[in-house]
Chain A
């Protein structure tokens, strides 16, 4: 069973550019959540995708957008990068099944984004 993987590991961009981060879910999982972890902070929820649709969003502006593909892998896109977007971006996958009270999230190792 393959765990959650993310690419790239590290990325350097300049202010104003756009970036795409990728996440492959754990086998059998149908839900992906994205988190932003700034230095010295806990992860903050960006949004969640379930069956290719966004079904929950945190307090992030619209320039943060995402996609989920039929194989349940996912992308996080950030437009018009700002210096404060520098962070570790974590992806977590889970299996949402009917009647389950809570679905454990499994995290990938993250992508470290630096905006100069």
Chain B
């Protein structure tokens, strides 16, 4: 069965500093890969996705992610964090075909300090 691991439960960064959130997945083939953000009281918003092709993916709000097949990783990065980026971030995988079930990691809560 597919699984997603986000090893960092909570991360604190200073405003303006760079950010990297880690994600590892377990699946026999390359699944579809996603990063979502969830602010308090809000639903999930898709930041970016990877299906195939260029392994560096650009998303919204200045985020990017890099797919590394050899490491089964899909880490999320941002060069300069803004206070409004404080939220919970979820990595997710989707299986191609079928009913396209999405499996989420347990999330990383990002705190941004002045």
Contacts and interface: CB of A to CB of B under 8 A. Distances in A.
A50 B99 CA distance: 9
Contacts, number: 61
Interface in B68-114: 90, 92, 94, 96, 98-107
Interface residues of B, number: 25
A44 B101 CA distance: 10
Q: Interface range on chain A: under 10, 10 to 19, 20 to 34, or 35 or more?
A: 20 to 34
Interface of B: 4, 32, 36, 41-46, 49, 51, 90, 92, 94, 96, 98-107
Interface of A: 4, 33, 35, 40-45, 48, 50, 55-56, 58, 90, 92, 94, 96, 101-110
20 contacts: A33-B102, A35-B104, A40-B106, A41-B107, A42-B90, A42-B92, A43-B44, A45-B102, A48-B100, A48-B101, A50-B99, A56-B98, A56-B100, A56-B101, A58-B101, A90-B44, A96-B100, A102-B49, A109-B41, A110-B43
